[in-house]
Amino acid sequence: MPRHWAPSSTSSHSTETPWFGRLSAGELGLPLFTIVIGLLDGFNPCVMWMLLFLLSLLVNLQDRRKMAVIAGTFVLISGLVYFAFMAT
């Protein structure tokens, strides 16, 4: 993990970002902090390619149930992986 993405040593509820500097959940409020961190994480190139692959699978499916199962599985597994990283 690059140094500029490491949690700040001054507070366990803040993080350093290259564009926005130090972001603190206490200063921004948890909802805004979550939105900003989610937007920064959303530009992950690996996830972008995975979403492109997922959309290419879903565009040819005619069954909405299969679409929901595939998309739901992706969201569930992504959430569990993020939870596992955040919990450790």
Q: How far apart are CA 26 and CA 76, in angstroms?
A: 28
Output the six-digit token pair for 82: 């993020």
pTM above the 0.85 mark? no
Mean pLDDT per 10-residue section of the chain, whose length is 88 residues = 47 71 77 74 78 87 90 88 79
Query: Which residues, at least 6 apart from 79, have a Cβ–Cβ distance to it below 8 Å?
Result: none
pLDDT of residue 69: 92
Q: Which residue has the tokens 């500097």?
A: 21
